[in-house]
Structure 1
Amino acid sequence: MIYGIGTDVCDIRRITAALERQGERFAAKVLGDAELAIWRTRSARWPKRGMRYLATRFSAKEAFSKAVGMGMRMPMTWRSCEILNEKSGKPVIVLHGELKAWFEAQGLTAHVTVTDETDYAASFVVVERQNPPASS
């Protein structure tokens, strides 16, 4: 059963401006540890590809927060939600800490897709309820 759907379109120029103003602090605020390592590698080799990576992750986290219906408030935080890739390239949502515990207690699973084109990054997330929430 569908629990929630979220979508987000992000202007990559806005992310570029934030990064120029705040430096790596912006990326460290938005990205989890695994994402940050990938971003650093991509940015060092291909700066535009690194920027697109950051923008798609920003967008996907916004879409996820909408799909679960809580926005960016606890237990949802930028760093507790990572958008990583399986070996096949398929993007997956990896949760940590309180967010992971809450998500699992609700019996939820999530599906994510991300894309980028020139000036925009977009994401779509579907969250499903697999099991009824745990009793209180």
Structure 2
Amino acid sequence: MIYGIGTDICDVRRVRASFERHGERFAQKILSDAEFNTWQARSARWPERGLRYLATRFSAKEAFSKAIGLGMRMPMTWRNCEIAKAASGKPEIVLHGVLKEWFDAKNLTAHVTVTDETDYAASFVVVEQNTKR
């Protein structure tokens, strides 16, 4: 059963402006530790690619927060929601801490897709609830 659907579009130029204003602190606020490491590696090779990575993660977390119906309120936090990549390359949501506990207690699963094109990053999330116990 569908529990919630969320979508978000993010202007990469706004992410760039926030990054220019706040520097690495902005990335540390938005990204999990694993995402932060990936962001640093991508940014070192190609800064624009790093900004797009940051924008897609921002967008996906916003879409996820909408799909679960919490917005950016506890237990939803930027860093407890990680957008990882499966071995196949498929993006997947990995949760941590109290957010993972809350999500698991509701018997939810999530599906995410992300994309970016020049000035925009977009994400779509579907959250399902398994009603069979």
TM-score by structure 1 length?
Answer: 0.96
Q: Does the CA-based 8 Å contact 1:83-1:92 persist in structure 2?
A: yes
Q: Which moves more between the two structures, 44-53 or 58-67? A: 44-53
Alpha-carbon distance between aligned partners in 2 of 1:41 and 1:132, rounded to the nearest angstrom: 42
For each residue in 1:5-55, what CA deviation from the matched residue of structure 2 results, as whole angstroms up to 9, or x when unmatched? 000000000000000000000000000000000000000001111110000
Alpha-carbon distance between aligned partners in 2 of 1:68 and 1:74, rounded to the nearest angstrom: 11
The answer for the alignment partner of 2:56 in structure 1 is: 56
Alpha-carbon distance between aligned partners in 2 of 1:87 and 1:129, rounded to the nearest angstrom: 25
SS at match of 1:70: coil
Q: Percent sequence identity over matched residues?
A: 74
For each residue in 1:86-128, what CA deviation from the matched residue of structure 2 results, as whole angstroms up to 9, or x when unmatched? 1111000000000000000000000000000010000000000
For each residue in 1:30-81, what CA deviation from the matched residue of structure 2 results, as whole angstroms up to 9, or x when unmatched? 0000000000000000111111000000000000000000000100000000
The answer for the alignment partner of 2:88 in structure 1 is: 88
Q: Does the CA-based 8 Å contact 1:108-1:131 persist in structure 2?
A: no
Kindly indicate whether residue 11 of structure 2 is the aligned counterpart of residue 3 of structure 1.
no
Q: Does the CA-based 8 Å contact 1:70-1:76 persist in structure 2?
A: yes
Alpha-carbon distance between aligned partners in 2 of 1:131 and 1:84, rounded to the nearest angstrom: 26
What is the root-mean-square deviation of aligned Cα atoms in Å? Answer: 1.0
Kindly indicate whether residue 72 of structure 2 is the aligned counterpart of residue 72 of structure 1.
yes
- Runs of 5+ consecutive residues of structure 1 not aligned to the other structure: none
Cα deviation, residue 131, structure 1: 3.5
Alpha-carbon distance between aligned partners in 2 of 1:46 and 1:75, rounded to the nearest angstrom: 34
Q: Does the CA-based 8 Å contact 1:106-1:131 persist in structure 2?
A: no
- Runs of 5+ consecutive residues of structure 2 not aligned to the other structure: none
